[in-house]
Structure 1
C-alpha cells in the first residue's frame, strides 16, 4: 500500500516504552536499543518489534531484539531527551507508521519543558532522514516538531472542565500537572505542576510501589494539591495495582485513565492537530 504523503506522528518516547499514535495507527514498542555488534551468526527477525536499524553509518538493534539479543543494551535516564537514544525512537516511529512528510509531537518531562530543551529536541529532528530497518530503506522528512509536557498532554484527550490533576508514573520520572478549564479558556497551572526524577525503572532494584507513591504524593500537598481533587492517573505505573491503591489512599477521587500507558501519546496527537491545523 502506498504511504500517505503528509500527516502527524505522536511519539511519547519514554525510557521503557515508545508509544506511537497516528490518524489510523497505535502501537507501543520497547525503547531499549544497543550497538548491533559484529560477528553475529544466529540473529533472526522473528517478532513484530525486532529491529535492526542502520542510520548515519551506524547499526543498532532495537525493540525486542535489543531486549533479548544485545550484549550491551542501552537505556537513558538523563534529564535531557536531546540524545540519540530518543532520536532513534522518533525516527523509527516515523519509519514504521509515518508519512513522506511528517509533523511530529514528542514529549519531555514537565520539569524539563524549557525553551532550551524544546529547541534542542526540535533541531535534532527537523529535516530529511534516510534510515534502513530490517533491510528496507526509506527517506522521509520531518517538517516541524511540537515538544509537549508529559502528564499535562493527557488533558487534550477529553479536555475536562474545572480544575483537574494529572499524575503520571513513568519509567524515568513521575510527572504531575494541573489544568483549569472554565469553559472559555484553558490554562496549565505551572506552580502546581512539575516532575520528580524518580521513576519505576530509574529506581532499579530499589523500586517499591508504596515507597514511590509516598515520596511523590506526600510532596504534592506542598504544591497545592488537595485530598478531594479530581486526579487522573496515567503512565506505565498506572498498570501496577499496588501503586494505584497507594495513590488512592492519598487521593480517594483519583482514577486510572483508560489505556493509561498510551494516554500521553493520544493527548499529544490531539494537541498536535490543533498546533499544526491538521485533521
Structure 2
C-alpha cells in the first residue's frame, strides 16, 4: 500500500468560475476559467502562459485569456452544477500544466456548500475518474485519475485555518458567495451555505453595496455576526467595505485558500491510508 501511494501525485484543483487554481507538491498555478471554440487566427498572437489551445476527445478549444479574446462563445459558465464538460477541461488542463506525462493522480476538487451533496459528488467523481489523454499547446499527455475526493468549498478552507473560537469564512466568488460557520475547528452545517449571487452575476452594483448584500444575507442565516475571514480573489477590496458590519480578517493566502485546503485534506487522506 505504501509503495502504491508514493507513486500517485496528489493534486488539488479549485475550478472556480473566474479562475482555476492548482496546488501540488512544490507547485501552484492559475489560469482564467474561460473556454471557447477554437478558430484559426488571421492576425498572429503572441501566446502567453494563460493562452491555451486544448484538444480533448476529438474537440479543440481555446482556454484562458485567448478564449475570452478570440472565441465567439468564450465565456465563464455560471450554471449551478460543476459536473459538466467545462470543469473536466479545466481540471485536465490544470493537470497538464503541473504534472508529467503518464502520471497517476489523486485529485481533490470542490463544490459550493449547497451543492456538496452525495449525488453531486458522485457525478463529479464519475466525470473525472479514469484515463484521460489531452493535448495543450501541441504537447500530448495522458493521466490516470485513480481517486477523486470532492471537498466543500469555503468550509474546508475554514478547517485548514486551525483557528480557535467561532468565526465565519466567507468566499465571495463569481457565481455564489459561500459561507461556513466554524466553531473551534468544526464547521456547523446549520449555519453554513451558499448565497445565490456572486461578484459577476449581480449587475451594476458597487463593491460597497455588494458587501452590504453579503452582510444582510449572512446575518439572516446566522444572526449576530461572529468575526469574518474573507477568502477569494476579491477578499482584500471587499474587506474594506464589509468591516463596517463585522470584525473582518483577510485570509493570508486568499486566492489559493480553497486549493491549499483541498491539498491539505488530500495529505490527511493519504496519511490515513498509509497508516492502515
Q: TM-score, normalised by structure 1?
A: 0.89
Query: Of the candidates 233, 239, 247, which is equivalent to residue 244 of structure 1?
Result: 239
- Considering only aligned residues, what root-mean-square deviation do their CA atoms show, in Å? 1.9
Return the alpha-carbon distance in structure 1 between the equivalents of residues 193 and 10 of structure 2. 27
SS at match of 1:236: coil
Matching of residue 259 in structure 1 with residue 257 in structure 2? no
Return the alpha-carbon distance in structure 2 between the equivalents of residues 43 and 8 of structure 1. 37
- Residue 84 of structure 1 corresponds to which residue in structure 2? 85
Could you tell me how far 1:45 is from its partner in structure 2? 5.2
- Unmatched 5+ residue regions in structure 2? 1-5
Query: Of the candidates 1, 10, 13, which is equivalent to residue 11 of structure 1?
Result: 13
Query: Of the candidates 172, 177, 181, which is equivalent to residue 175 of structure 2?
Result: 172
SS at match of 1:179: strand
Q: TM-score, normalised by structure 2?
A: 0.90
Return the alpha-carbon distance in structure 1 between the equivalents of residues 189 and 79 of structure 2. 23
Could you tell me how far 1:68 is from its partner in structure 2? 2.2
Could you tell me how far 1:44 is from its partner in structure 2? 4.1
Return the alpha-carbon distance in structure 1 between the equivalents of residues 240 and 65 of structure 2. 30
Aligned length: 266
Residues 156 and 268 in structure 1, CA contact (< 8 A), matched pair in contact too: no
Return the alpha-carbon distance in structure 2 between the equivalents of residues 9 and 146 of structure 1. 11
Q: Deviations over 1:48-102 (max 9, x none)?
A: 1110000000000001211222222031111100111111111111111135011
- Residue 233 of structure 1 corresponds to which residue in structure 2? 230
- Residue 30 of structure 1 corresponds to which residue in structure 2? 32
- Residue 219 of structure 2 corresponds to which residue in structure 1? 221
- Residue 263 of structure 2 corresponds to which residue in structure 1? 269
- Residue 46 of structure 1 corresponds to which residue in structure 2? 47
- Unmatched 5+ residue regions in structure 1? none
- Residue 55 of structure 1 corresponds to which residue in structure 2? 56
Q: Deviations over 1:17-47 (max 9, x none)?
A: 111111111111111010103x434454520
